[in-house]
Structure 1
């Protein structure tokens, strides 16, 4: 019985240590996002932290540029990939900021291959990188009417992936 109690305590200590590490990485993200936005360098990947096969965390940020609505509202778009853990797990999102660099929310994209490639002529451009998708299909998303509630990235003529906007409360 004593061994079981000790094992349970050790387990909870390890869980708390792991959660606090994840919490630290998430808090730091706000500062590095602002740093990338202030640099105002389009299409350059900035990497913060270091992931390796022993673990750690790494955040990759790529500022794609500005999208404007017909009513003059400005959105700054950034690709975000956060890699963590010994199994190299990652989270990919399209981050959206306003003209004053305030975070508005994100589109969760499931995989990094679903992130947009660039902004061209005021349009968000998605290319198909997955082997099961038609490489000739390019999805183009306009923000001219405002922030889309959902983005659909076509994979082939029959299906694709949808990403819903998750706004900051």
Structure 2
């Protein structure tokens, strides 16, 4: 029995150390970025381990005050990791106390919004396949949209849904 207990303990410690030390703590770096309040500035956080490097790119776009008086803070997030350096792209929404509310999961880095102006999130088509004359705008003045359509060209594009906690 002691042997199984030791094996279990070693296994548990190994797994926990991988979880704790192998990834960037997103909550801390998100809060750090929000507290700096530098609109449009990209912050890059890196973590190295034996499996390679992971990076999180965070850009605070600003805040929106809704018609009902709520304030939302909007940030883009790009997480790059693994041997293939695949990206996970998100539009993150926080309340006025910097508490995470939810997110939109976006397919491509080029699909992320570039700026927030007067409560409107602005997406520009930087992808070569999309019409660069077309831009999508999402109004947050009435609250967080449950979903939005981001046009690429000729009425085609992607629909993104809001996921909350």
TM-score, length-scaled by structure 1: 0.82
Contact 2:93 2:102 in 1 (8 A): yes
CA distance, structure 2, for counterparts of residue 91 and residue 21 of structure 1: 18
Partner of 1:95: 92
Partner of 1:127: 124
CA distance, structure 2, for counterparts of residue 162 and residue 24 of structure 1: 33
Backbone CA RMSD of aligned residues: 2.3
CA distance, structure 2, for counterparts of residue 101 and residue 69 of structure 1: 16
CA distance, structure 1, for counterparts of residue 72 and residue 149 of structure 2: 18
Contact 1:55 1:88 in 2 (8 A): no
**Which has a greater percent of strand?**
2
- Deviations 1:45-80 (CA, angstroms, capped at 9, x unpaired): 0000157xx721100000000112111111100000
Structure 2 unmatched runs, 5+: 1-10
Structure 1 unmatched runs, 5+: 1-12
Partner of 2:62: 65
Q: State how many pairs are aligned.
A: 152
Matches of residues 7-18 of structure 1 in structure 2 within 5 Å?
A: none
Question: 4+ residue runs of structure 1 moved beyond 6 angstroms?
Answer: none
Contact 2:104 2:162 in 1 (8 A): yes
Partner of 1:117: 114
Matches of residues 47-58 of structure 1 in structure 2 within 5 Å?
A: 47-50=44-47, 55-58=52-55
